[in-house]
Amino acid sequence: MNAPSLAEETGRDAVPAARISGRISAVAGQAQRQMRSWAAAYPGLFGAEAFDPALFSTLSLAAAFSGPWHTADELRMANRMCLWCFALDYLVDYAATTEAEVTRIVERCEAVAGGARPAADDELTVFLAEIRDELAALPAFAELGGVWRDELRRMLAAMAREWTWKAARRDGDTGRPTLAEYLDNADNLGFSFVFAAHWIATCGTGPGGGVDPVRQASRAVQRVIRLLNDLGTYERDLKWGDLNALLLDATREEVGRRVAEATAEARRLLELARAEHPREADYMERQMDFCAGFYRVTDYWGAP
């Protein structure tokens, strides 16, 4: 059973904010059950303790609060793609022990995204192939499928680059990326890639306007979320051996200033995108603002 739409709720006079929040939370609950069923189908991907119940709950809440006008089924693609990205991130960041392993992951994912058949025992690319086939069956894929594949390539390249930075640090190399270089690598976050899949799934027959303004806004939002994530996950990143803006050449105060500057730039680009794509701009802005509150309190990952 689908919840009433946000338009139905807000179309009434003086709808209490708690009622709207209740509906959003109900959609998130439906989405969480979907996500847990997808994870159960791939125990080799999602068996680690890091994929605890709270991870599914908080990821589903992020999507539901970003697009409160959507049903759980309309958020399905965003949630599937996001869950796949978390599996990818875990394999690259924590499971891979050699650069050759990372390279093989990148090559397998790029090949499958381009249409190759995955190996039956490769859960990561089997899951990706399922998503690819779902997307390819949608009308908007004809115009936006290339965007999705490009965002995947960018994300994979950024993840591999971060892996080499971390490996060099483990090997005693005292060199490290500057904050500017680190932010230029923000595609490793995966926001723009997940958003591309969501866009294909929710824009009907096609984007109906310019694609570049949306992509530019998406990338700007991604940079903001990258910094918000780092401010909120510093202690975990220390424990897990991750890179973090605060472990580079920046103080917490400087990173805070960069967040403010990046947020202002993201809102400027979102306004440009909103001229032709108001719903997509609203979704991205709400996710950025959700993360600003979320990372003040907790993180998505469970214990490793």
Q: Does residue 12 fall inside a structural domain? A: no
Separation between Cα atoms, residue 116 and residue 94, nearest integer Å: 26
Q: Does residue 256 fall inside a structural domain? A: yes
Identify the pLDDT of residue 88. 99
Per-residue pLDDT at 10 exceeds 60: no
Q: Does residue 97 fall inside a structural domain? A: yes
How many structural domains does the chain have?
1
Average pLDDT over residues 112-130: 99
Q: Does residue 7 fall inside a structural domain? A: no
Per-residue pLDDT at 11 exceeds 70: no
- pLDDT tens digits for range 189-207: 999 999 999 999 999 999 9
Per-residue pLDDT at 42 exceeds 90: yes
- pLDDT tens digits for range 49-77: 999 999 999 999 999 999 999 999 999 99
Cα of 67 vs its chain's centroid, Å = 14
- pTM > 0.75: yes or no: yes
Per-residue pLDDT at 280 exceeds 60: yes
Q: Is the dihedral of CA 98, 99, 104, 106 positive or negative?
A: positive
Cβ-defined contacts of 111-120 (< 8 Å, 24+): 113/148, 113/149, 113/152, 114/149
The answer to whether the beta carbons of residues 52 and 177 sit under 8 Å apart is no
Average pLDDT over residues 81-109: 98
First to last CA, the chain: 35
3-state SS of 92-161?
A: HHHHCCCHHHHHHHHHHHHHHHCCCCCCCCCHHHHHHHHHHHHHHCCCCHHHHHHHHHHHHHHHHHHHHH
Q: Does residue 106 fall inside a structural domain? A: yes
Identify the pLDDT of residue 3. 47
CATH at residue 65 = 1.10.600.10
Q: For 117-131, 144-158, 248-262, 267-281, which range has the lowest pLDDT when averaged over its residues? A: 248-262
Identify which has the larger pLDDT, 139 or 2: 139
Burial code (b: 16+ CB inside 10 Å, e: under 16) for 173-196 equals: eeebbebeebbebbbbbbbbbbbb
Identify the pLDDT of residue 304. 61
Identify the pLDDT of residue 57. 98
Q: Does residue 202 fall inside a structural domain? A: yes
Per-residue pLDDT at 233 exceeds 70: yes
The answer to whether the beta carbons of residues 257 and 179 sit under 8 Å apart is no
Q: Which domain holds residue 269?
A: 23-294
Q: For 107-111, 185-189, 245-249, which range has the lowest pLDDT when averaged over its residues? A: 245-249
The answer to whether the beta carbons of residues 235 and 204 sit under 8 Å apart is no
Q: Does residue 288 fall inside a structural domain? A: yes
Separation between Cα atoms, residue 147 and residue 298, nearest integer Å: 31
Q: Does residue 18 fall inside a structural domain? A: no
Identify the pLDDT of residue 1. 44
Q: How many residues does the chain have?
A: 304
